[in-house]
Structure 1
């Protein structure tokens, strides 16, 4: 006990002098606030989490990753007997690479802890004889290695040649000079043992510099269909069923450097989402090669072909970052009515700014605004309500009871005439004119549930970019406090993607889905009602989605204030308890996050 107290005091001292050096007494205030809300336990938790964040920010990314490797890969070679041991075919197109790199790649395969594999390496005439000699040396020694010559000068032809010659039930592609971790195949097959229905398995990966040092780990989202449409996040290591690949015609020659992206899109079209899974371990180490750099124009064509085959009317354009894409889904000729619901109490200036921004910055024409007056008493706003009620598409309805976000919005939906309801806080300001279209194009899709937006504080830092379950115990906002221009973790601030939940400050959903899940849970008066609602929609089988193309300012908590009274803190504790009791089975593990990333902060930092 004494040692624990000493450690906490040490961390507190470091935070006081280094972590808050611009305003050193902030740590005192924050610690006291947490102590008041949750006693010694909460204060200690705050100090520990703040200390972890400080340490992460003190080290550079590479130092943090090296620490992560030491912590997490100590037992990388521990394996257990598997009951299902299918043959896995590894396919490689031999390229002119450094001899040392080639040897390292070969050793990474022959040293695999899983032994039921075959390796087909295909080459064409232009490959150096010295490299061919190296492979032939190993081919003579290991019967599972097969070197084949391909007449056509094309990686696509080489891959298809290897595919036709393969005997394995599953295939993986190993790019020339890249390296598999020792347990790569074992972990893949172990995942198949856990679920024989799986038809696509992918893993986390990192990169290798010229000296063989590992850097830039990519800890990936779980299966994220809309992220895959935005960028090929699946990456380098993925395991596919051979018969499925052969059935869809293998690799297409016209896509060359983008042939794997094309294959993945055609492949997922034929399988269920439930038959896709990931392994949250670094199993692949990639070297960056000019020959492997993708052509974004070709990737764009791949996406256009995919949606054309699916008979989905879209327009594909380049995204906000290199090798990312924006899929524009067509709206019907007769666009649906959208009901914008805004609860408010007094705060005349804030509401007027919000309403003016909607009226002046909305290209979409078919919308109505429903303002829910929650016991306003200010004369200015009452006069403003009188004026607004004269507008053709604005109504003010009264809710003369104590504040309850869920009850207020459920009540307002009863008055909504729209096919879609857009829940909006009164302390937001619209930025882009096509904000409704950008959300509605997704909400109209039959497999999409709730759609959320990109929200900024008034200093142009991120307030909301999707919600991640488990952060801080219940949920937290992705990339909170990142700058507006930041790309985020592997471009996640710049691409459309699926999240478990989005914030109710700007949330669009069809009224049919809203009613199907019985709206917001009225036991959640203030906190987590949007998370609970999103999870109910997700539980029904819909994908929730976040788009960076709808942008608003969110002047958070200006209306309601902060939870600085005992009554408010008790209410918050009750709502935390409600969420833990109802959603404990999902709060510990977010499908769209990664267990190797921190749960102490919202910055996608490594868990070290």
Structure 2
């Protein structure tokens, strides 16, 4: 088998469903499998997978064992030569895996491959490609230089990079196992930095493939609250202890910076964009959806004429996932507009307008 896609889920049932629909299309021409590891969700995620995706391998954990342990359990049963670690709040284009696997097969010293991630507004996520967060650059970030971590590669470029993000990581299964997979000392956050760095230390090369874009709604799995702050900065403290423990003075300074940052105010508010109309990019009307939207409704087959302050609903029956991603990137600068995706054959639309809060699901 060529590929195993491992998706760790926790209480994001509708985002998971959209993710699985996109992954199914992306592996349609590959010898591949999908493994969903559920960390004891309290919603109906597991029932949804069983009912709608019978070919998906489902691991139902009885507790929330964290990101590292959950993903490791999925990779442990993976049959693919390659494994992709994928967040459930992502949408991949139809060509994602064929293109990345072709690229990977042509590299001689492959560690991991990542791609360009965009958020629910179509904006580039700079954590898609990062430098090693040495104590020096971490201090710069903590004390105000927000770009200290980020690679000098342009978003659309292809090249070597140090650190990739756990929302999307493609690598050989044997490399994953060689470095011990995700370090289970990390519960959530930091484990992707640790894995990337362990792979570099083994002499492999990580790559950023900017020609391919994937949606990562982000707010679903990365809520910026006090719990997030404690876990994230605690994870970074663990990273420095494991990999830079010989630098005692710098570690002490990093710990001071981490403590200061943990008291910094966090922005938990969702985007409050108020739209005045809904534009549905589709060639078919739906009366039930119209009743839920409670705005003037316009159907179009192109986004070229969409005005400001619009809720833009992208019909995945009418548009490919590749086209949806392209449209979001192209139209992201439409003032005070938001995007929602309507999965094919489903009675809900969803989207996310902020990395700091949960996205929106509208059922009809």
With the length of structure 1 as denominator, give the TM-score of the two structures: 0.37
Distance 1:555 1:475 in 2: 23
In structure 2, distance between residues paired with 1:494 and 1:585: 36
Tell me how far 1:421 sits from its aligned partner. Answer: 0.7
The Cα of 1:474 is off from its aligned counterpart by: 9.1
Q: 1:400 to 1:499 in 2, by over 3 A?
A: same
Map 1:366-445; keep pairs closer than 5 Å: 366-379=31-44, 381-388=45-52, 390-391=54-55, 394-431=56-93, 433-444=94-105, 445=107
* Deviation readout 1:246-282 (Å, 9 max, x if unpaired): xxxxxxxxxxxxxxxxxxxxxxxxxxxxxxxxxxxxx
Note closer, same or farther for the CA distance 1:479–1:569 as it changes in structure 2 (3 Å cut).
closer
Counterpart-to-counterpart distance in 1, 2:173 and 2:166? 15
Instruction: Summarize deviations over 1:567-598 as a string: whole Å, max 9, x none.
Output: x543333212111122238999xxxxxxxxxx
> What is the aligned partner in structure 1 of residue 232 from structure 2?
572
d(CA) in 2 for partners of 1:577 and 1:462? 27
**How do residues 193-212 of structure 1 correspond to structure 2 at under 5 angstroms?**
none
1:306 alignment partner in structure 2: none
Kept in 2: contact 1:339–1:368 (CA 8 A)? yes
Q: Between Structure 1 and Structure 2, whose CA radius of gyration is higher?
A: 1
Match of 1:501 in 2: 163
Cα deviation for residue 363 of structure 1 reads 5.4
5 Å-filtered alignment, 1:442-481, equals: 442-444=103-105, 445-463=107-125, 464-470=127-133, 471-473=137-139
Give 1:146-185 correspondences, 5 Å limit: none
Cα pair distance change 1:372/1:410, threshold 3 Å? same
User: Which protein, 1 or 2, shows the higher relative CO under an 8 Å CA cutoff with sep ≥ 6?
Assistant: 2
The structure where helix makes up a greater share of residues is: 1
SS in 2 for 1:549: strand
Partner of 2:175: 513
Q: Distance in 2 between matches of 1:478 and 1:442?
A: 31
CA-based RMSD: 3.0
Q: Deviations over 1:509-562 (max 9, x none)?
A: 111111111111111111111111011111111111110122101000314533
* Separation in structure 1 between the aligned mates of residue 169 and residue 201 of structure 2, nearest angstrom: 18
Partner of 2:332: none
Q: For 1:563 and 1:427, locate their aligned partners in 2 and report how far apart those are by CA, in whole Å.
A: 18
Looking at structure 2, the residues matched to 517 and 378 of structure 1 have their Cα atoms a distance apart, in angstroms, of: 34
Deviations 1:284-326 (A, max 9, x none): xxxxxxxxxxxxxxxxxxxxxxxxxxxxxxxxxxxxxxxxxxx
SS of the residue corresponding to residue 77 of structure 2 reads coil
Query: Which residues of structure 1 form unaligned runs of 5+?
Result: 1-335, 483-487, 589-608
Judging changes above 3 Å, is the alpha-carbon distance between structure 1 residues 585 and 452 closer, same or farther for their aligned structure 2 residues? farther
The equivalent residue for 1:351 is 16
Tell me if the contact between 2:141 and 2:147 (Cα under 8 Å) persists in the aligned partners.
no
Q: Quick one: distance in 1 between partners of 2:47 and 2:78? A: 23
Cα distance, 1:478 vs structure 2: 10
**How far does residue 378 in structure 1 lie from its aligned partner after superposition?**
1.9
Aligned residues: 240
Q: Which sections of structure 2, spanning at least 5 residues, go unmatched?
A: 251-364
